[in-house]
Chains A and B, each alone.
Chain A
Amino acid sequence: MIAHFGYQDGSGAYFITIDTDKCNGCGDCLPACPAQLFEILVDDPNDPFRVTPVASVKETERKKIKYICDPCKGGSPQHPLLCVASCKAGAIGHS
């Protein structure tokens, strides 16, 4: 399942995607994000039958992605983004 976390408003679309089929819940993304945007959930709230832990974007941060991710993405973006690079499984993507 590809989970889109974030939002779209009049200024644009701001989404972080996590491919939960690729994610094994290892937690490498947690220290990689300077804003500590990610968390590991033991139970996936969107998939009650999943048994493996899964990475997610903290619910309290989902509506602020435009600003939180701006230091990494805005101006001269770092490529690849720290969170994207930290995931060995290639599960993380950005809009």
Chain B
Amino acid sequence: MTQEFWRWTESRWTAGDRDWKSAKTITAGVDVGSVSSQAVILIDGGLYAYSNMRTGSSSPESAINAMNWALEGTGLSLDQIQYTVGTGYGRVNVPFSNRAVTEIACHGLGAHFLYGPTVRTVLDMGGQDCKVIRTDGQGKVTNFLMNDKCAAGTGRGLEVFADLLGVSINEIGELSLKVEENPPAVSSTCVVFAKTEASGLLREGWSKEKVLAAYCAAMSHRVVTLLNRIGVEPDFAITGGIAKNIGIVSRIEKELQIQALTSKYDTQIAGALGAALLAKALWEKGK
């Protein structure tokens, strides 16, 4: 079998010290993205379980699969969840959701939970788009921008480079830092043209590491221009799959001269987590 270089690591987590049987509210959020789908379950507003897996060709199925995986082994069933909010690219296709909300509102709240109340600027680097969100101390969005027209600065772009160079997507970040001197960034930010340019550089004898360094630098610079359009106020945090790529995170930090906050949970759950928090608020409001 050929190796699938783009394949990233799926994850699942359950809080060992919490029990849903004594909970007053059980709410959930499901984020069906272009590349990954997440389900998050909260009990009384505290994180109880989550799953993060690949989105398939069908949004409803992806939502159900993610939810089933999050529920797995907890003894909890779908009908015991009082309110579910769907979000993400496939939010209108979550069969069991009570309401669909855009990722913007969800990521603000999710980041507030994951990184703490000091977070003011959130950069979400998703599979197919890139969002910059400014929030206040309560996780409420004060300013946002989303770029989903161009794949530069998204996970999809990284997948293309993983394939081109035959490097696992999980190793791109580390490898891109193994250069003695940082090469100039690839000039084009368009993924298609950047790939063409990278092929040329490989032909000239550039190492994989050097090409990755040049692409990570271009990608970082690209999202920094988006960040600067909105303005970056510390504290700053990155959500989404690319937050796990040290090569890109460190380059963004260097360009902004700001350290990004880190979280002990999977950075890809921010949207679904925010949706679950909104579900709790909407459930309590409706009662």
Contacts and interface: CB of A to CB of B under 8 A. Distances in A.
A89 interface: no
B143 A10 contact: no
A3 B285 CA distance: 25
Nearest to B131: A4
Interface in B195-251: 225-226, 229-230
A7 B149 contact: yes
Contacts of B140: 1
B112 to A, nearest CB: 15
Interface residues of B, number: 29
Contacts of B147: 7-8
A13 interface: yes
Nearest to A5: B146
The prevalent SS among residues of B at the interface is: mixed
B104 interface: yes
B105 A47 contact: yes
A48 B275 CA distance: 11
A45 interface: yes
Interface string A33-54: 0000000000001111100000
A70 interface: no
Interface residues of A, number: 17
B99 interface: yes
A3 B188 CA distance: 28
Given A45-B101, A48-B278, A1 B189 contact: no
Contacts of A49: 281, 285
B144 interface: yes
A4 B144 contact: yes
A47 B147 CA distance: 19
B142 interface: yes
Contacts of A9: 149-150, 152, 190
